[in-house]
Amino acid sequence: MADKTVAAGKAGGASVLSCGAPLADVSWTQVSGPAVTLQAARTPTVSFETREKGVIVLRADVTLADGARLSLSTEVTVGDAPAGSFISLRADHSVRPEVQTSVRAWPTLSGNDSVASIVWTQVGGPAVKMDTANRQLLMFKAPASATDVALRFRATMTTSAGVTDSDEVLIGLDPQAPGNADTLFDTPTARVHAYRQAGAYAGVLARCTYDVKVYYASAANNSLCSAQVLPPLQTEAGVGVVPSVAQIMGRVLVSHDFLGANFEQFLLTQDPNSDFRRLLASVSAIVIGSHVRPSFYSAGTGAIYLDANNLWLSAEQRDVVTEVPDYRSSFDDDLNFIPLGRSVKNNDYARRSYPSTSRVTRTTDELLFDLGRLLYHELAHANDFLPSVNRAMNLQRTIWDNIAERVGSRTLPSDALASQYPLQSAEMLGMGQVLYQGATATALQKGYTAAEIGGFFGADRASDDYAYSIYQSDSSREDLAMLFEEFMMSYRHNVRYDVAYANQSAGNDLVLGWGQRGRIAEPAIKPRIKLVLQRIAPWIDPAAVDSLPAPVMMQPGARWDATLALNPSGLARRSALRIESSDERAARLKNDIRQRERHGRMTPDGRQP
């Protein structure tokens, strides 16, 4: 099914639905008509931007689960562009049943016209509960379904000038075979494919690392692949050899091909010291998906999983990335303080803000401050569990079996960090359970002021309060990952991290109770970073830690915005105080207010610490 007609300037879409056996593989191509870009060509539903009149002919080449092959064609007629204000919905897409997803409404306004209202209605498919608290954003959980089915939604905009316009969007439900009760994945896994179809491991990547049928019940009852079937990249590259970009790309699974292309370009242009390639040697696969959220590492599969929001370069690419927030990101909002953080370079934000209401682009260079930071963090986890410099690997066993003994005996680098330089603040250890593990705050914790929390934190030896996100009896895995991430961003890219706590306020300003820039250079923290480097990145001289810029305290009582430029030059001050729109400021502060992500176990075996 597809849009029969669409006005130029609006997004069009088409979807292929199976009436029998499930869809095993789909590939869309354009046959004729005005050229369009199919960002989701390997999924059952495609969306595309229309820019000129004509008839667009699309073909879907389909392979069913029973092996049958079909080719289907559809036509979309693109008519005249709207004469005045209009609305377009982006983007048509497919999603697994019982997965949260989103659609954004994009008003295009003529002259001084403004939006008076946007009303959403469901016009097709099984009913869903629509969340339209933000009138320009529809979010919902896809209904359960054992068969392919299409959902249709309509948004009707009325403007201040009295103009009314509507647009519809198509969401295809793409069922998958049921998983095991002990699956490693909390939610259905999205449709992905090997970025390099001819890669040596293309045929096993998905079934070994991203499928609800991947499960672990016990050492004797699991479906984990052996390291012989899918070894870490270091095994493929050879002992002491840094994996090539080509070898890495042979381990990439994507929901959309542009994610693989952008990741490859990032590795080719943003890794002059081969840090990412060295660190990637410890993983079995890199899974990049439009509905992967949050990013994470799994010791069960040896793979890292990356949120596609860190890899888009164009507005059209961003359209396919879900806006649904991590469901674990809003714990205990009744606390008396607000955790803040930002990355700073030359007294200005290291990364731009990207308002969700703006159609923006970014360069591969700019990915460094999103994707680069993320890779340092997740690959620190990977190299904590399976350091690429550790050459002992039994290929007959699973990756987890090769790791489990070290986890059980507490001999991981993060265990050494916790043993030699333990976190000591009882208050922050308790608060970490509230902020990041979902514990209910006590009356005492609810009463802590920003200054008190800053005092507890500042007297301890963590670089970031995410270090206190500790799962049950584990050592803090996040302590090691945050130390490594912050050091690498400072050492390689001259980016310093701010960490602060503001008082809860009814106004628009965030008033600080405590704050610090470049905390990783604190004398009590430097030995901890050196231990981490020696264990997971021995190619970096630990003496580099002693050259980190000295930390700078922020003035209590100052506004958060006013502390961006600390000891600034004139140029830096002008940059820091630049004029920004209300949407830009909202996007910036949304990033600054720390997301309280709850990361659970990284290991598959519940009996392991």
Residue 39 CB neighbours (<10 A)? 24
pLDDT of residue 507: 67
Domain boundary (142, 173, 204) is at 173
For residues 215 and 152, state if they share a domain: no
Distance in angstroms (rounded) separating the CA atoms of residues 504 and 549: 31
Distance in angstroms (rounded) separating the CA atoms of residues 101 and 546: 46
- For residue 158, the enclosing domain spans 5-173
pLDDT digits (tens, 9 = 90+) for 409-434: 999 999 999 999 999 999 999 999 99
Distance in angstroms (rounded) separating the CA atoms of residues 305 and 214: 15
pLDDT at 571 over 60: no
For residues 265 and 126, state if they share a domain: no
For residues 509 and 430, state if they share a domain: yes
Residue 394 CB neighbours (<10 A)? 12
Q: Among 341, 321, 365, which residue's Cα sits nearest to residue 520? A: 341
For residues 194 and 147, state if they share a domain: no
Mean pLDDT (whole number) for 67-76 = 95
For residues 485 and 567, state if they share a domain: yes
- Two tokens at 534? 């020696």
For the purposes of burial, counting CB atoms within 10 Å of the CB of 334, is it exposed (0-12), middle (13-18) or buried (19 or more)? exposed
pLDDT tier at 609 (50, 70, 90 boundaries)?
very low
**What does 12-64 look like in DSSP terms, one character per residue?**
EEEE---SSSPEEEEEEEEEESS----TTTTSSEEEEE--S-EEEEEEEEEEE
- Two tokens at 77? 């007629």
Distance in angstroms (rounded) separating the CA atoms of residues 512 and 341: 12
For residues 515 and 394, state if they share a domain: yes
Domain CATH for 88: 2.60.40.10
For residues 193 and 94, state if they share a domain: no
pLDDT tier at 579 (50, 70, 90 boundaries)?
low
Domain boundary (173, 191, 218) is at 173
Domain boundary (152, 173, 194) is at 173
pLDDT digits (tens, 9 = 90+) for 150-188: 999 999 999 999 999 999 999 999 999 889 889 999 889
Q: Among 136, 97, 98, which residue's Cα sits nearest to residue 120? A: 136
Q: Among 57, 15, 12, which residue's Cα sits nearest to residue 34? A: 57
Whether residue 401 contacts residue 394, with contact meaning beta carbons closer than 8 Å, is answered with: yes
Q: At a CB cut-off of 8 Å and minimum separation 6, what does 357 contact?
A: 136, 583
pLDDT at 38 over 80: yes
Distance in angstroms (rounded) separating the CA atoms of residues 98 and 142: 5
pLDDT tier at 79 (50, 70, 90 boundaries)?
very high
In a domain, 109, yes or no: yes
Residue 431 CB neighbours (<10 A)? 24
For residues 109 and 185, state if they share a domain: no
In a domain, 307, yes or no: yes
For residues 191 and 340, state if they share a domain: yes
Report the alpha-carbon angle 84-86-88, nearest 5: 150
Question: Average pLDDT over the chain, rounded to whole?
Answer: 92
Q: Taking the chain, what is the end-to-end CA distance rounded to the nearest angstrom?
A: 50
Domains contained in the chain, number: 2
pLDDT of residue 262: 98
Mean pLDDT (whole number) for 315-328 = 86
pLDDT at 310 over 60: yes
Residue type at 314 in one-letter notation:
S
pLDDT of residue 474: 82
Q: Which residue has the higher pLDDT, 428 or 331?
A: 428
pLDDT digits (tens, 9 = 90+) for 528-548: 999 999 999 999 999 999 999
**What does 520-554 look like in DSSP terms, one character per residue?**
GGSTTTHHHHHHHHHHH-TTS-GGGGGGSPPPEEP
pLDDT at 330 over 80: no
The secondary element (H helix, E strand) that includes residue 4 is none
pLDDT of residue 608: 52
Q: Of 290-294, 390-394, 457-461, 552-556, give the lowest mean pLDDT range.
A: 390-394
pLDDT tier at 606 (50, 70, 90 boundaries)?
low
pLDDT of residue 572: 41
- Two tokens at 409? 């005996």
Q: Label residue 111 left, alpha or beta by phi (over 0 means left) and psi (-120 to 50 means alpha).
A: left
Q: Among 9, 600, 38, 39, which residue's Cα sits nearest to residue 326? A: 600
pLDDT of residue 575: 40
pLDDT at 215 over 60: yes
DSSP annotation of 9 reads T
Distance in angstroms (rounded) separating the CA atoms of residues 63 and 191: 14
Q: Which residue has the higher pLDDT, 591 or 288?
A: 288
For residues 203 and 140, state if they share a domain: no
pTM, whole model, 2 decimals?
0.94
Whether residue 6 contacts residue 77, with contact meaning beta carbons closer than 8 Å, is answered with: yes
For residues 103 and 206, state if they share a domain: no
For residues 163 and 190, state if they share a domain: no
Q: Which residue has the higher pLDDT, 245 or 387?
A: 245
Distance in angstroms (rounded) separating the CA atoms of residues 203 and 250: 11
In a domain, 310, yes or no: yes
In a domain, 320, yes or no: yes
In a domain, 290, yes or no: no
Count the residues in the chain. Answer: 609
Q: At a CB cut-off of 8 Å and minimum separation 6, what does 447 contact?
A: 336
- Cα–Cα distances in angstroms (integers) from residue 62 to residues 18, 43, 134, 159, 215, in the given order: 9, 10, 37, 42, 29
pLDDT at 331 over 60: no
